[in-house]
Amino acid sequence: MVVPAKSLGKPPADRPSAAGDRLTEAIELLFFAYRDFISDPDEILAEYDFGRAHHRVVHFVSRNPGITVAELLNILRITKQSLARVLKQLIERGFVAQETGKQDRRQRLLYLTASGRELEERLAAPQRARVAAALEKAGPGAEDAWRTVLLELVNDEDRTEVEHRIARAPVEQR
């Protein structure tokens, strides 16, 4: 233990890293958890020749049937050109359908098709199982704490919106 006394300057253990830093450990845990969490659907996506970008779109369209392109962009925080690439493929191959908005005919409301819903369920299944197992192992009460911390990690400006998004009827108005 005790790293070799090492090169240039202080042996690292003063503060920002090395051992015993609860905060850094929490940050690192988030990396590992997320790394494995997002690895689940990759094999399924590969069957379809899709990537993680497609997964995100399928997920959020599933969660927000009738979502507009603008809303989706706001969630994903990517450019419309980036979104267009994957969205086009999802539409061409029949996983996502568009409908012209009724109030505002400029909008393209997005929905999953039957195939899209099937894909979504396949992708979600392993992630749901993983989270369910983790929450169960962590015991009762862990879920609330877990959710609270995650929500608090979100940018202040976005927290209200996220809060609404994660528990609500299908979409909003339209």
Partner DNA sequence: AAAATATGTCAACATGGCTGACATAAAATG
Partner DNA sequence: CATTTTATGTCAGCCATGTTGACATATTTT
Residues at the site binding DNA, with contacts judged by CB under 7 A? 49-54, 56, 68-70, 76-88, 98, 101, 103-108
Segment 69-74 long-range contacts (CB within 8 Å, at least 24 positions apart)? 69/107, 69/108, 69/110, 70/107, 72/110
Q: 3-state DSSP call for residue 99?
A: strand
Exactly one of 80, 104, 147, 160 binds a second copy (CB under 8 A); that residue is 147
Q: Which amino acid is at 115?
A: S
85 vs 164, beta carbon nearer DNA:
85
CB of 81 to a second copy, least distance (A): 19
The answer to whether 108 touches 68, Cβ cutoff 8 Å, is yes
Phi, psi of 99 (to 5 degrees): -135, 145
Exactly one of 46, 70, 84, 131 binds a second copy (CB under 8 A); that residue is 131
**Interactions with a second copy, residue window 152-171 (CB under 8 A):** 152-155, 158, 162, 165-171
Q: How far is CA 30 from CA 35, 53, 64, 114, 128, in A?
A: 8, 21, 26, 34, 17
51 binds, among DNA, a second copy, none (CB under 5 to 8 A by kind): DNA
104 vs 136, beta carbon nearer DNA:
104
Which residues have a Cβ under 8 Å from the Cβ of 76 and sit 6 or more positions away? Answer: 56, 57, 60, 83
66 binds, among DNA, a second copy, none (CB under 5 to 8 A by kind): a second copy
CB of 174 to DNA, least distance (A): 10
Helices (H), 64-113: 69-76, 80-92
7 vs 81, beta carbon nearer a second copy:
7
104 vs 158, beta carbon nearer DNA:
104
* Residue 19 near a second copy by CB under 8 A: yes
**Interactions with a second copy, residue window 30-69 (CB under 8 A):** 30-37, 39, 56, 59, 62-63, 65-66
d(CA 63, CA 58): 9
